């Protein structure tokens, strides 16, 4: 089932970067920055499990299996909105292993960054 989880934090993207990188590394995930340059306010990353072969030649010869996507957007208030998209929202052929890896990454990342769900009531 495709999911997109939305979270908020007061950490800037620059402050969150070391933890994001460390959590991805602990789960064996590659972070692929999908923007031309860093602007300090908005970022989109593919989360990938490295492979020995090129997976998608359309994407410039990507050598990882896509297991999720992460977007971060700084709001005018200074808070950052994080959107974590599950493997099935990125790949129609996602496996149970992809889902389990993403779930473990999401759990550790939300704890490491102190991410909280927005109040939607």
pLDDT, residue 39, reads 74
pLDDT, residue 54, reads 61
Low-confidence ranges of the chain (pLDDT < 50): none
pLDDT, residue 51, reads 81
pLDDT, residue 61, reads 65
Question: What CATH fold (topology level) applies to the domain 4-113?
Answer: TATA-Binding Protein (3.30.310)
Half-sphere exposure of 97 (CA within 13 A, CB side): 6
State the Cα–Cα distance between residues 77 and 87, nearest whole angstrom.
30
Residues near 106 by Cβ (< 8 Å), separated by ≥ 6?
A: 5, 68, 84
Give pTM, 2 decimals.
0.84
């Amino acid at each position: 089932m495709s999911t997109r989880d939305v979270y908020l934090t007061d950490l800037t993207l620059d402050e969150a970067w070391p933890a994001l990188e460390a959590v991805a590394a602990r789960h064996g995930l590659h972070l692929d920055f999908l923007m031309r340059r860093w602007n300090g306010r908005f970022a989109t990353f593919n989360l990938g499990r490295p492979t020995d072969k090129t997976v998608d030649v359309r994407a410039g010869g990507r050598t990882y299996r896509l297991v999720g996507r992460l977007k971060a957007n700084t709001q005018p208030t200074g808070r950052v909105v994080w959107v974590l998209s599950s493997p099935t929202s990125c790949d129609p052929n996602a496996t149970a292993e992809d889902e389990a890896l993403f779930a473990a990454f999401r759990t550790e990342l939300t704890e490491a960054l102190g991410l909280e769900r927005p109040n939607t009531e």
